[in-house]
Amino acid sequence: MEVLSANGISKNFGPLWANKNITFHVDEGEIVSLLGENGAGKTTLMNILYGLYQPTEGYIKIRGKERRIGSPREAIDLGISMVHQHFMLVDALTVTENIILGNEPRKGIFTDSSLALGKVSELSEKYGLGLDCNAEVGTLSVGEKQKVELLKALYNDCSVLILDEPTAVLTPLEVEAFFRILQRLRENGKGIILISHKLKETLTIADRIYIIRAGEIVAETTCQGASVESLAELMVGHALDSKIDRNETDDNETVLRFSEVSCREKGRNVIDGISLSVRRGRILGIAGVDGNGQTELSELALGVRKVSDGMIEYHGRDIRNTSVRSRILEGIGYVPEDRQKKGLVNAFTVEDNLILGYEDDARFSRHGIINWHSVDSYADSVISEYDIRCQNRDEKAGALSGGNQQKIVIGRVLEADPDVIIASQPTRGVDIGAVEYIHKKLIEMRNRGKAIMLVSADLDEIMKLSDEIAVIYDGRIVSCAANGKYTKTELGEFMTGAREGDE
């Protein structure tokens, strides 16, 4: 039975049409995947289904009846729940408290905590989520937090579940477990709309696939007979060249060195005695599950965090006491893992964000005065080079899709021509065309002799780009070897602590 359908949905923002006459449906017990480039209109469409936007044209049917969805609250009441790419959780609250927030069962004027805990625990057991419903969310792993988001949707008794990049931060083992949960949801009659840039995963789990390009649905297919290559071509409108051309060099001088580095916070070492060398013309891949010290390691290199023990050297010079500003201007480039919190100022324009942190660079200013003519030319050049899809350089960065926001961050760092690039989750949440472009840019920088530390939970990315791979777990490097020495399964086991090795 058809549980939800979009019929001729169009949405414009002034002269820009984000969606154009989109028609699709999802049935009970079916997983439908929506694929498309960043900026193709997927997020706008999901926001319409979830009541955040109203369509300019077209209508939505729930179980065959036309409905106007005026807000997320109305969407939830109609049985539509959405799990966003960025977690909407309060770390200081328990699993149960997060799930019932805004929808608490009452005993008189008080919250019925016992009833809430019982219902949440029952749902967790029914769908095999295995959560400790009394645990504080801040103590959970990324994979467990994803389950909490899912459980929140189920608590609202949804019949349609919209999942936006649900596996973006999960390890391969966590993805397998997550897919088993989705299969159980499908068996229980849920209609699931899956947005993902991971085409292999889509082919594994989806029943039907819609391709959106430039705001329109250009194809509908099933997984049978489809391939990663054919889906990618439908998404971008042309064949992709994924070939990686590596140059080898004997000049592998160490540019950035960590020597027995530790970082202590709240009485414990979040980084515990790490020694690593980031060398010229090489990519050092740091594989790990989010929350095991990758952020701290990257921010130690930039100077955002302070070293408790050990030493960090840049070109052989101790930089422990140098500022973030000086490190950036001296050639340490940083792509943070969270573009929203650490990479951009959403209220600033695209142009402003493209020079963020580099305002004093000689390219843009002299004697403290910014040359806006130079900045304008530079911004237009980067927008064109990195295919940042915006109306113009004066558009607010917060109005862009996640993938286009990521291109701003990548372009800003790489165009500064740094000696060392700390690239943390550089392709998280971007489409396959942008992924291939970013990969080629990183390899290009490597071939030009740049030293790159690539931090990623995406093992395909780590294994494709890295010369050496170090696995971080609980703040320590638990294994380090040349690329090719690990299987994907072995890396996943090291990342989750299921396997131990020698550094």
As a three-state string, the secondary structure of 424-489 is ECCCCCCCHHHHHHHHHHHHHHHHCCCEEEEEECCHHHHHHHCCEEEEEECCEEEEEEECCCCCHH
Burial code of 465-486, b = ≥16 C-beta within 10 A, e = fewer? bbbbbbbbbebbbbbbeebeeb
Helices (H) and strands (E) in the chain, counts: 16, 24
Rama region for 313: left / alpha / beta (φ>0; ψ in -120 to 50; rest): beta
CB 297 within 8 A of CB 472: yes
**Domain check: are 261 and 303 in the same one?**
yes
The pLDDT of residue 324 is 92
The 3-state DSSP class for residue 23 equals strand
Residue finishing a domain among 382, 417, 452: 417
The pLDDT of residue 503 is 44
**Domain check: are 317 and 432 in the same one?**
yes
Which ranges of the chain have pLDDT less than 50? 503
Q: Which helix (H) or strand (E) holds 182?
A: helix 172-187
CB 416 within 8 A of CB 363: no
Q: Using alpha carbons, select from 312, 313, 416, 394 the residue that is nearest to residue 349.
A: 394
CA distance 168 to 144: 14
DSSP letters of 218-258? EEEEESTT--HHHHHHHHHSS-----------S---EEEEE
Q: In which domain, by residue range, is 412 found? A: 339-417
**Domain check: are 384 and 428 in the same one?**
no
Q: Using alpha carbons, select from 396, 380, 301, 306 the residue that is nearest to residue 347.
A: 396
The 3-state DSSP class for residue 327 equals helix
CB 112 within 8 A of CB 190: no
Rama region for 316: left / alpha / beta (φ>0; ψ in -120 to 50; rest): left
The 3-state DSSP class for residue 6 equals strand
The amino acid that residue 55 corresponds to is: P
Spatial neighbors of 330 by CB under 8 A, at least 6 apart, are 314, 322
Spatial neighbors of 444 by CB under 8 A, at least 6 apart, are none
DSSP letter (8 states) at residue 130? -
Q: Using alpha carbons, select from 281, 312, 292, 213 the residue that is nearest to residue 468.
A: 281
pTM to 2 decimals?
0.74
**Domain check: are 111 and 258 in the same one?**
no
**Domain check: are 394 and 439 in the same one?**
no
The 3-state DSSP class for residue 106 equals strand
User: 């690990």: which residue's tokens?
Assistant: 486
DSSP letter (8 states) at residue 192? E
Spatial neighbors of 226 by CB under 8 A, at least 6 apart, are 203, 209
**Over the chain, what is the mean pLDDT?**
88
Residue 40 burial (CB < 10 Å; 0-12/13-18/19+)? buried
Give the number of domains in the chain.
3
Cα distances (Å, whole numbers) of residue 454 to 215, 305, 351 = 33, 19, 26
Q: Using alpha carbons, select from 5, 61, 59 the residue that is nearest to residue 32.
A: 5
**Domain check: are 248 and 209 in the same one?**
no
CA distance 429 to 403: 6
The 3-state DSSP class for residue 76 equals helix
User: 């001296």: which residue's tokens?
Assistant: 330
**Domain check: are 122 and 263 in the same one?**
no
**Domain check: are 316 and 366 in the same one?**
no
**Domain check: are 319 and 448 in the same one?**
yes
The pLDDT of residue 476 is 94
User: 């608590």: which residue's tokens?
Assistant: 155
Residue finishing a domain among 236, 270, 304: 236
**Domain check: are 348 and 298 in the same one?**
no
The pLDDT of residue 318 is 96
**Domain check: are 356 and 441 in the same one?**
no
The pLDDT of residue 241 is 67
Residue finishing a domain among 417, 445, 474: 417
CA distance 180 to 202: 14
| Domain harbouring 296, CATH code | 3.40.50.300
CA distance 284 to 259: 16
**Domain check: are 259 and 401 in the same one?**
no
CA distance 434 to 223: 23
Residue 373 burial (CB < 10 Å; 0-12/13-18/19+)? exposed
